[in-house]
Structure 1
């Protein structure tokens, strides 16, 4: 069995911070993530294609934080690795990890859309 796409404990912690006590904050958080994730992914792809280590570090760091906020721990870890590869100028390793990041990002988006329908 594969690891869960989302750590629901993380999302539930955000839910508890909602002053309304409902899913309003979670819905907003998920909606923001869904609207921004494709741009983060494109920035990472472009940075790798352009062999721009600094841009890769910035894009991967931002995407890592965003993924972590919504409980996408595997995606956050992949982004952490990409950030590290950018920091060490290991772009061939980053290129190898790119497909994994794209696949996991799609899994996260799918899981969040399903969750949004349940809210």
Structure 2
């Protein structure tokens, strides 16, 4: 089954490259994502929104969260032109998508510690 949310290949590579640092990388990603979500939710102008979306997109794509990265990209490029209701919907989508993938990373972290 192909996972539309997460590119597992990216995770395998990260796991090999990072070795003991992998769980910490996952931790950092989860913590950063939380912060970026808050930034998105409280962003008051297009600039703040697109910057938060941009940095979130970068970390999401580094971590193989492909769908999350796509949504962030959409928000980043649309921050200046989309209507407030479209933006609110995208932020909600991003929040939902993160909630969807979060357990995968939590699970990775758990397994990384047990190997």
Shared fold per TM-score greater than 0.5:
yes
**Could you tell me the TM-score, scaled by structure 1's length?**
0.83
Find the partner of 1:91 among 84, 88, 103. 84
Find the partner of 1:80 among 73, 98, 102. 73
Q: Which residue of 2 aligns with 1:25?
A: 21
Task: Name the structure, 1 or 2, with higher relative contact order (CA <8 Å, separation 6+).
Answer: 2
Q: Which moved more, 1:26-35 or 1:87-96?
A: 87-96
How many Å apart are 1:4 and its aligned residue? 4.1
**1:60 and 1:83 in contact (8 A); partners too:** yes
The Cα RMSD (Å) is 1.9
Matched, 1:5 2:5: yes
What runs of 5+ residues in structure 2 fail to find an aligned partner? none
**1:7 and 1:72 in contact (8 A); partners too:** yes
Give the number of equivalent residue pairs: 112
What runs of 5+ residues in structure 1 fail to find an aligned partner? none
**Could you tell me the TM-score, scaled by structure 2's length?**
0.86
- Aligned-partner Cα distance in 2 for 1:43–1:2: 31
For residue 71 of structure 1, give the secondary structure of its aligned residue in structure 2: coil
Q: Which residue of 1 aligns with 2:96?
A: 103
